[in-house]
Structure 1
């Protein structure tokens, strides 16, 4: 089989560039095109060198390839801290393995065949560029799925916070979602409103208020105002208009808690100027959270 040195080097240059580009995207690093091209050229020249010098076995060793990877990361990204360097190197290897897996898949399905030697894939016939296109499509799909999973997990970890609510010397704990679209406020005091599921609040609420929601009468304004006006907690309850949560021109029953605490134990914040709005439906389809917090409450 004839091996064209220039074609092989060009193929590796393109793949190396894409691997480095993916690494930069995952690490959210701003890298100039010139640096990406330089790193890709170094990797491609290494492949060309070991083809031209097949007797120099030292360049085929694992240590040589690791040192090459370190050198490529150093000249492409120039990480300033060792932790960042290690993370970048790890993402670089993960990206490389994804591309390598796509290349192996192509070799398996390619009718003309091919083989791998010393870490380099050789393809028979005129399939080199088809392999590259196939690899790019496969890698694009894998990375898109992988990225969406990571982003989803990071968002959940960042936006879900533990909350403690106290009312009438009783306390409940629940998980809340920081909702950037929640700017709901009490129209009388301009205090931000935290929306919480009724089911999560039952232990705190007076019996007469629980009866409103148990009978699904929270939208009957006359009935609600009559019940609240007769409650000994009259001064702590509010009626809050809203235009969200799947309903136009709705009304939430809210109350002033003793306090709420937001965050983990080590960085918990005590907040008193807040209204808790009672929502008689589920806020999360998978029960991950029971309340919605406006960003103003966690700023």
Structure 2
């Protein structure tokens, strides 16, 4: 149990230093491998067995990075943290303390701290890039939460107008019957990462109103593209910088 907690803590710290993102399940698996290898390393006096334990652990973490140099850095940092924590672990034992309690408590606090920090980042990001968007079409209107996507470079190929991408479920109530058979639909091409070129169906709204704090931005020349995929739990539309500039 002690080696597992030490291995988990060492791998977590090393990944943080190298800015590697590890899922909870992957961290558990590789920590278990590390704990077993640590037990083998510490229990067997033979140098060949120790080298074999090192090799198995290195090969187990290699898929995390898929780069020999990055895997080497992660391997060495994990070992450094492990031996440092192991020294502190045995020092606490010698003084009569139970280090597992400290380590376990530290990991729990680290999880809570990381979760709180991610939530804080999400709130800051939404405050900075989040907008309330009102779409007016054929006299009907709907308000959705939107997010400024600086990578959104979509535009109408004929008009050259910027495009806002909106979830279908967020705007379907303002779309008339037979909407997708209308001859006025716009065809907006796009290319996803690692995918062939596709297209969105879109329409020209009467007007877009974009709220940020107390400021209202009115946009007349823009196209609303419809996606049937869910964008995010926090927003239903993706704005572009060009839409804000075109106001």
Q: Number of residues paired by the alignment?
A: 150
Structure 2: distance between partners of 1:207 and 1:245: 33
For the residue of structure 2 that corresponds to 1:273, the secondary structure is coil
The structure 1 segments of at least 4 consecutive aligned residues displaced by more than 6 Å after TM superposition are: none
Q: How does 1:1-299 map to 2 (within 5 A)?
A: 110-111=92-93, 141=110, 146-209=116-179, 212=180, 227-229=181-183, 234=184, 237-244=185-192, 247-264=195-212, 266-284=214-232, 286=233, 288-299=234-245
| Superposed CA offset, 1:230-279 (max 9, x none) | xxxx3xx3111111288521111111101101114621111111100011
Q: CA deviation at 1:141?
A: 4.6
- What secondary structure, in the 3-state scheme, does the structure 1 residue paired with 2:158 have? coil
TM-score, with structure 1 as normaliser: 0.43
Change (3 A) 1:153 1:266: closer
Secondary structure, in 3 states, of the residue corresponding to 1:298? helix
Could you tell me whether the CA contact under 8 Å between 2:163 and 2:243 is conserved in 1?
A: no
Runs of 5+ in structure 2 lacking a partner? 1-87, 97-102
* SS of equivalent to 1:241: strand
The match for 2:23 is none
Q: Distance in 1 between matches of 2:230 and 2:194?
A: 12
The 3 A distance-change label for structure 1 pair 199 and 246 is: farther
Summarize deviations over 1:89-114 as a string: whole Å, max 9, x none: xxxxxxxxxxxxxxxxx9xx934659
SS in 2 for 1:269: strand
How far apart in 2 are the matches of 1:157 and 1:243? 29
Q: Distance in 1 between matches of 2:142 and 2:240?
A: 19
Distance 1:278 1:245, change over 3 A: farther
Q: In angstroms, what is the RMSD of aligned CA positions?
A: 3.3
Equivalent residue of 1:164, what SS? strand
Tell me which structure has the larger Cα radius of gyration: 1
Task: Write the distance in 1 (CA, Å) between the matches of 2:165 and 2:237.
Answer: 5
- Alpha carbons of structure 1 residues 201 and 148: separation in structure 2 relative to 1, 3 Å: closer
Deviations 1:155-178 (Å, cap 9, x if unpaired)?
A: 122222110000111111110111
